[in-house]
Amino acid sequence: MPTVAANIRRGRLTPLGWGGLIFGALIMVAPLLWTLLLSLKNNSELVGHSGAALHGPYTFENYVAIFGNSLTTRWLLNSAIVALGQTAGVLILASLAGYAFARLEFPFRRTLFVIVLLGLAVPSQAVILPQHELFAWLHLHNSYPGLILPGLVAPFGVFFMTTYMRGIPRELDEAAMLDGASRWTIFWKVIVPLTIPAQSTLAVFTFLGAWNDYWWPLISATRSDMYTLTVGLAAAQMNYAQTSGLGYLMAQAVFASIPIFIVYIVFQKQIVRAMAGAALQ
């Protein structure tokens, strides 16, 4: 006999429910399809007639133009390095710190944790200028470390890993401790493997944020061979881009979103599983 729980979790949604969902999904997806169609149109055809996107002829010329720019692949590479570097860095730092805050006792633990949480309330625009000044002193502008480092101090990662690790039964590491394992061994051999789902979630969101970041790379990477994709594509536009190069702009949007979309699809299952841990502890 199917239980109510099964009914809620796997059971049938009424046709009305499905209808509503599909309607909502259409609302969500319509602007994206619109973007895709615009990206496949000749630019001058769109000046003053964006409705022209609803019918042919369609063309790949905007995508060809993106790749025709010799620097595009370089920007793609820079974005990948920065996003992957930031993701790796956040995972390492946040896991270590999360473990410390969730499991270990040390002086000022609570105070330090609260100080980290305060960071959630700091608007990034509020610190961007002093940060720029700092990185100028350290001669880190126009370099990969300069692009990666500011993203590593996001407090959300630490908060997320701490709550997730608190949800892991203490019996597991206490058993390991009785076997004489060091803190480091417990962290590396017991805790980290258990947090893989959380790591993937954090990875996806860090990657997403790093990939789409605009203001920091804009003022830190001022040499075009160090641009990330977001900055490079913005610079490639003419000054009144919204009016003259609409198709090109939309092609850029599609092009820049593809890598993240792939990341999401690959990690979709882990993300949902991982959120569970963090959200409920």
Partner 1 sequence: MNRIAAALLLILALASCAQRDNKTHLYLQRFFGECGAEYGGNIDVAHAQGECGIITTLVNRFNAQNPDIHIDVNVVAWPGYPQLTAQMAARDPPDLVTMHEGVISDYALKGLLEPVDSYLAKAGISPNDFTDASRLGVTIGAHEYGLPWDTHGGLFHVNTALFAKAGLMRDGKPVFPNSAAELMAQAHQFEQRTGKPYLIQSLVGDPAGAARNLYTYMMAQGAVLFPDPHHIKLNTPKGVEVATFFRDINVQHLGTRNMDTPAAIAAFINGEGGIYPTGTWMIGSFEQEAETPGRPLYKSYAVFPYPRLWGKRVEYVSGHSWVVPMRKRTPKQREAIARFFKFMAAHNYDWARTGHIPAFKSVLADPRFMALPHRSDIAPLAAMGRQLPPYVQRQSAIEGLVGEEAAAAFTGQKSVPQALADAERRVDELLGHLD
Partner 2 sequence: MTAARDWRGLLFALPFLALYALILIFPLMRGVWLSLNQVDLFGDGHFVGFGNYARLLHDPVFGTSLVNTFEVTLMIVPPLTVIALFLALALNRAGKGAAIIRGIFFSSAVLSVTIVTLIWRFILAPDAGLLGEAWKTFGWQPLPFLSDEHLVLPALALTTIWWSLGFPMLLFLAGLQQIPEDMYEAAALDHSSRWTTFWRITLPSLRRTLVLVVMLQTAAQLQLFGQSQLLTAGGPSGASRTAVLFLFEAAFGRWELGYASAAAEILFLIILAVTITQYWATGRATGADGGR
Site for partner 2 in 40-69 (CB under 8 A): 50
Q: Work out whether 141 is an interface residue with partner 1 (CB under 8 A).
A: yes
CA distances from 183 to 31, 35, 95, 96, 191 (A): 51, 51, 13, 11, 10
Q: Work out whether 33 is an interface residue with partner 2 (CB under 8 A).
A: no
Distance CA 74, CA 227 (A): 8
Q: Tell me how far, at minimum, the Cβ of 254 lies from partner 1, in Å.
A: 17
Q: Work out whether 237 is an interface residue with partner 1 (CB under 8 A).
A: yes
Q: Which residue type occupies 197?
A: P
Q: Tell me how far, at minimum, the Cβ of 45 lies from partner 2, in Å.
A: 15
Distance CA 130, CA 151 (A): 15
Distance CA 191, CA 51 (A): 55
Stretch binding partner 1 (CB under 8 A), from 97-105, 203-211, 242-250, 269-277: 242-250
Stretch binding partner 2 (CB under 8 A), from 59-67, 74-82, 97-105, 172-180: 97-105
Q: Work out whether 236 is an interface residue with partner 1 (CB under 8 A).
A: yes
Distance CA 23, CA 12 (A): 18
Nearer to partner 1, 212 or 244 (CB): 244
Distance CA 189, CA 199 (A): 15
Among 2, 31, 48, 169, binds partner 1 (CB under 8 A): 48
Q: Tell me how far, at minimum, the Cβ of 175 lies from partner 2, in Å.
A: 18
Find the binding residues for partner 2 in span 121-160 (CB under 8 A). 121-127, 129-131, 133-134, 149-150, 152-153, 155-156, 158
Tokens representing residue 91 in the block: 């995972």
Nearer to partner 1, 85 or 155 (CB): 85
Find the binding residues for partner 1 in span 80-109 (CB under 8 A). 81, 85
Q: Cis peptide leading into 107, omega within 30 of 0?
A: no
Q: Work out whether 49 is an interface residue with partner 1 (CB under 8 A).
A: yes
Residues 6+ apart with CB under 8 A from 99: 161, 165, 187, 191
Q: Is the dihedral of CA 232, 236, 242, 247 positive or negative?
A: negative
* Residue 235 near which of partner 2, partner 1, none (CB within 5-8 Å, type-dependent): partner 1
Q: Give the max Cα distance, the chain.
A: 74
Distance CA 71, CA 272 (A): 37
Q: Work out whether 144 is an interface residue with partner 1 (CB under 8 A).
A: yes
Q: Work out whether 223 is an interface residue with partner 1 (CB under 8 A).
A: yes
Q: Work out whether 10 is an interface residue with partner 2 (CB under 8 A).
A: yes
